[in-house]
Amino acid sequence: MTTTIEPTDLTQPEEPHGPDSHGADHGHDADHGHHAERSGILNWLTSTDHKVIGKSYMITSLVLFFIAGGMALGIRTQLMNPTSSFVNFQTYNELFTMHGSLMLYLFAGPFAFGGLANYIVPLQVGAPDMAYPRLNALSYWLYLGGSLMMTLSFLVAGGAASFGWVAYAPLSSAINSPGAGTDMWLMALGLTGFSAIFTGVNLVATIFYLRAPGLTMFRVPIFSWNMLVTGILILIAFPVLFGAVILLFCDRHFGTHIYTVAGGGVPVLWQHLFWFFGHPEVYILALPYFGMVTDIIPVFSRKPLFGYRGMVFATLTIAALSTGVWAHHMFTTGVVLLPFFSLLSYLIAVPTGIKFFNWIGTMWGGQLSFQTPMLFSMGFLFAFLMGGVTGVLLASPPVDFMTHDTYFVVAHFHQVLIGTTVYAGFAGFYFWYPKMFGRMLDERLGKIHFWLLTIGFWVTFMPQYLVGLKGMPRRIADYLPANGWTSLNVLSTIGAFIIGLSFLFFFANLIIAWRKPVAAGDNPWDAGALEWFASSPPVHHNFTHLPPIRSERPVWDYNHPEHIKIDHHKPAPSQAPTEKETVGAN
Amino acid sequence: MRVDGLFLSIIGVFFGIVGIVYWYTSYEDAGFVMLVGSAGLGLLPGLYYLWWSKRMKPLEGDIEDATMADGAGVIDSFPASSIWPFLLGMAALFTTMTFIFGLWMAPIAIALGVSAIIGGVVESRRGGTI
Amino acid sequence: MSESVNAFTHGSTPTPNGGPQRRRGARLAAGAAITAPLILGGCDFFPSYGASRGVTTQGQDTFKLYSGMMTTGIIIGVLVGLLIVWTMVRYRRRSDEMPRQFHESIPIEILYTAIPVLIVAVLFVFTVIVENRVVATQPVTATQTASGGPIERITVTAFQWGWRFDYPSEDVSVAGEVTNGPGGKGPQLVMPVDTTVQIKLISNDVIHGFYVREFNFSRYAMPGIVNYFDLNPTETGTFDGQCTQICGLYHSLMLFTVKVLPRDQFAQWTSSQHAAGHTISVANGTGTGSSNRQPPNARITPSQPAPAGAN
């Protein structure tokens, strides 16, 4: 069956939605009868609805997040005391490899661009679905297949891949890493890589061509802007990864010598290819989460975003620079051009600083309320501040020589990545959960989750900076008591378990929301972007009508017409967006 | 359309410049090739959009004071459901497993892939109907 | 082991006139060269922030850069952090009154674009100055430094899972695998103090990381690529080193120690080692340092698997 969308449908007169409709339970049964006749599992297998796919993506990636988090606890347990034998060396190497792989390839990216963005971006741009719904579904099935393949590689003879998530050649060659586990790891990257490419295509096409009338590029909410840029970065980065992976597979099985010295190949080529993917990947992971925070802070400050254009400019600059800095992961190879990569790496600090001050400027003079999404956003600001400052140090080749592959680097990227994927990611999850499920999450449990996470986070990673400066290399399963690293590692392990504990409150929250639903209403936070105009959860194909779009906060303008004149650098609206206007457009 | 085209073209030009600078400072071929590839990735669609933006009427999404009525008409056909993406995804999964676990998986992969491609094409020709 | 230098090694192998990278860097740094001694001189001025102050001239330069950058970073981080906290406290919601809906302020935005650019530019200049000092190497053919100082050349070979240290001019070779050597910390790299020690770093199999905390320095040992770097030890003592790049099953046990001796003791040590038959030809004959040998199992608890098939 097919549904033809005609925008004349979109402007049926209806009661204006707004803060006064809190608690109203719209849309739970507004199924419009399009796909109600199928049973659950078949419905799931055949659905091309971006909302169903987005939720599937989110659930899958969260499951993988908790599996990888469990691995992290295993790693921390092993490192809690010197000469520990909690796991053996081979298992330890598999654990940290799969922890990194699951977190980076299967959770952090897909949760953002496959999950939240898939769900939210069409709503934010006023589109009925993603531009290519079936490609979107294919993307999810490839992702699910790749995830299963990577996770199940623990079960094959020889165990999972054990060379770190970067798989440096020649350690990943057939001689040094035999076994099907490595092949499954490579093929899983191929599958999930293509899933990412398809989602990237979809995001770019949706944001370019399915924007609602009046939603010009410079009115698109920053989250969607960031997803557009993320989509373009995906299109730049993932094909390179795919190529590198295929070449490595050929080296392993078809007798080529691309990465092996013996046959005239060049091992460092893997690093060039991998990091040309890998550094944009860092921003593919970060930009969506920047976008979430950028959308959340104005809502809880009751103000528009400060410096919208500056934010767009900063996002574009970060993305552009991020593809020119790959070799700052390779400073210690001794074969890359140090000043070039150092300068470009330093320059990334500038747009990131702009973003920071824009966030502060948004809060400045506002009426800040610290509900759970805002609290998580604040946690993000501090975590990212710390990770950003240490990141500037690592842009300097001499300091990189000094700290490369030590726990200093481990602490740095965990602070950045947890700051983005966990703090900002859960900020986004708490923020959009009411829209996705029509229910509120419990504020009290959310706050306990936040504070436990924050305590655990700082207790885990601050000692890691110190232990790194004391000379502890990363990816070691074992150290000597004489190294003097024990007490800091104990502290770090305690912190990791506090982080683990905090997620129990998250689960409790989900269960309570499931058992005792509290209806959310369409716009519980009094937010301004277009997704808050749809019902919660949105009906099939999203909108029954749309407000006029004259700024980047059309729903705010609709609910607070008294502020409409302050929208300066856009043409003044011809009429106030009243119900009459909406009906008149019909 | 114009903004999109400019945006992509600027990305392309940026990578072109960085690529040239990189080549003349390092003579390292892998990075240079990738930067030039990225420049093409920006310039090809960017210039195409710019070319078209001068030759077609602007999209409703690009008009600052468009009303909802301006967007009237059929946007597109959106399939409500389709089984073929699932089968195609499983075909890809079995293809990769063929490389790992042996050729005995190839028939499954081929069967899934062929049926998914045929089914998907037929579905598209009927306008998205299964 | 291969010594072929391929297209990827631009700038890594020292050439008789100092290499293209050095010249380029020197130009970049020319403007700031005058201020460098002011900043880089004086030791007590720099707080350590948990790092080693370095026992080589290169390590000391790196340490000063690290310390200076850390100070800058802490100041900026604390200021921004306080600004966030202040904003959070000052503008917390007190009433339902709607705040003023302002969008932007171009002068302020330009200000906080320009200031980071300036900070970053300053940091970059210092980075280039220190970087040129740290990566500067004596020409491989030189018999003494430009100022007439002695040069000691040591070839460090990394392999799964151990290290081999060759002293070609003294015909001495020391090697050890995962847990043998003094204190169960692997083989010992002995070097003379107040000498330019040029390390030639190679790998027999996969990528390893040569890292000594007190040198504030690490470098990959990579197959197919020869890396040179100079160390000028200024203090005697024994320091722990370790492989930093994951290199397979026993990566954690790939330890070594560095012992910096006075020059006369170093000469005694090399002659005694040579006399004891620890020569390069003997080492090559016994194959010590070849890849894929089974490591001894000293620190592996009984629950660990036997290393058979470990690679």
Contacts of A332 in chain C (CB under 8 A): 209, 218-220
The pLDDT, as a whole number, for residue A39 is 65
Contacts of B25 in chain C (CB under 8 A): 24
| Number of structural domains chain C divides into | 2
Indicate if C277 and C165 belong to the same structural domain.
yes
Indicate if C83 and C203 belong to the same structural domain.
no
Q: How high is the ipTM of this complex?
A: 0.92
Indicate if C158 and C221 belong to the same structural domain.
yes
A464 CB within 8 Å of a chain C CB: no
In a domain, C308, yes or no: no
Q: Are A323 and A235 in contact (CB under 8 A)?
A: no
Give which of A415, A400, A393 is closest to A492, Cα–Cα: A415
Indicate if C60 and C25 belong to the same structural domain.
yes
Give which of B125, C99, B97 is closest to A363, Cα–Cα: C99
State the sign of the Cα–Cα–Cα–Cα dihedral A391, A393, A397, A400. negative
The pLDDT, as a whole number, for residue A443 is 92
Residues 6+ apart with CB under 8 A from A444: none
Q: Could you tell me the pLDDT band of residue A560, with boundaries at 50, 70 and 90?
A: confident
Show which subunits contact A, needing at least 3 CB pairs below 8 angstroms: B, C
State the smallest CA–CA distance between residue C9 and chain B in angstroms. 9
State the smallest CA–CA distance between residue A364 and chain B in angstroms. 29
In a domain, C204, yes or no: yes
Q: What is the average pLDDT across A558-563?
A: 82
Indicate if C165 and C250 belong to the same structural domain.
yes
Choose the mutation target among C3, C8, C250 for the interface with A, i.e. most A CBs under 10 Å.
Answer: C8
Indicate if C58 and C124 belong to the same structural domain.
yes
C49 CB within 8 Å of a chain A CB: yes
Indicate if C129 and C195 belong to the same structural domain.
no
For residue B28, the chain C residue with the least C-alpha distance is: C8
* pLDDT per residue of chain C (311 residues) written in tens, 0 to 9: 333 333 333 334 444 444 444 444 444 444 444 444 444 444 467 888 889 999 999 999 999 999 999 999 999 999 999 999 999 999 998 888 888 888 888 899 999 899 999 999 999 999 999 999 999 888 888 888 888 888 999 999 999 888 999 999 888 998 887 665 455 788 899 999 999 999 999 998 899 999 999 999 999 999 988 999 999 999 999 999 999 999 988 898 889 999 999 999 999 999 999 998 888 888 887 655 443 444 443 333 333 333 333 33
Indicate if C120 and C182 belong to the same structural domain.
no
**Separation of alpha carbons A134 and A203, rounded Å:** 13
Contacts of A7 in chain B (CB under 8 A): 68, 71-73, 75
Indicate if C83 and C188 belong to the same structural domain.
no
What percent of chain A lies above the pLDDT cut of 90? 66
Q: Are A150 and A106 in contact (CB under 8 A)?
A: yes
For residue C184, the chain A residue with the least C-alpha distance is: A480
Q: pLDDT per residue over A389-426, tens digit each?
A: 999 999 999 999 999 999 999 999 999 999 999 999 99
Give which of A285, A413, A392, A278 is closest to A342, Cα–Cα: A392
Give which of C240, C239, C261, C255 is closest to C190, Cα–Cα: C261
Q: pLDDT per residue over A244-271, tens digit each?
A: 999 999 999 998 999 988 888 889 999 9
State the smallest CA–CA distance between residue C77 and chain A in angstroms. 7
The pLDDT, as a whole number, for residue A512 is 93
Indicate if C160 and C279 belong to the same structural domain.
yes
Indicate if C180 and C128 belong to the same structural domain.
no
B79 CB within 8 Å of a chain A CB: yes
In a domain, C143, yes or no: no
Q: pLDDT per residue over A345-392, tens digit each?
A: 999 999 999 999 999 999 998 999 999 999 999 999 999 999 999 999
Out of B30, B35, B99, name the one closest to residue A269 (CB).
B30
In a domain, C79, yes or no: yes
Question: Does residue A215 have a pLDDT over 50?
Answer: yes
C5 CB within 8 Å of a chain B CB: no
B78/A3 touch (CB, cutoff 8 Å), yes or no = yes
Q: pLDDT per residue over A146-205, tens digit each?
A: 999 999 999 988 889 999 999 998 899 888 888 899 999 999 999 999 999 999 999 999
In a domain, C274, yes or no: yes
B28/C24 touch (CB, cutoff 8 Å), yes or no = no
- Write the CATH number for C172: 2.60.40.420
Indicate if C162 and C274 belong to the same structural domain.
yes
Both structure tokens of A504: 């129990």
Reported pTM: 0.87
In a domain, C12, yes or no: no
Residues 6+ apart with CB under 8 A from C112: A353, A354, A357
* DSSP-H helix ranges across chain B: 2-26, 29-53, 84-101, 106-125
**Separation of alpha carbons B66 and A219, rounded Å:** 13
Q: Could you tell me the pLDDT band of residue B75, with boundaries at 50, 70 and 90?
A: low
Contacts of B29 in chain A (CB under 8 A): none
SS3 A134: helix
Give which of B37, B51, B45, B58 is closest to B8, Cα–Cα: B45
In a domain, C80, yes or no: yes
- Per the structure, the complete domain to which residue C234 belongs is given by 151-283
Residue with tokens 């004259």: A550
A470/C213 touch (CB, cutoff 8 Å), yes or no = yes
- Chain centre distance of CA A294: 14
**Separation of alpha carbons B111 and C258, rounded Å:** 62
Give which of B17, B25, B44 is closest to A321, Cα–Cα: B17
Termini Cα distance of chain B: 33
Residues 6+ apart with CB under 8 A from A26: A438, A521, A522, A535, A536
In a domain, C113, yes or no: yes
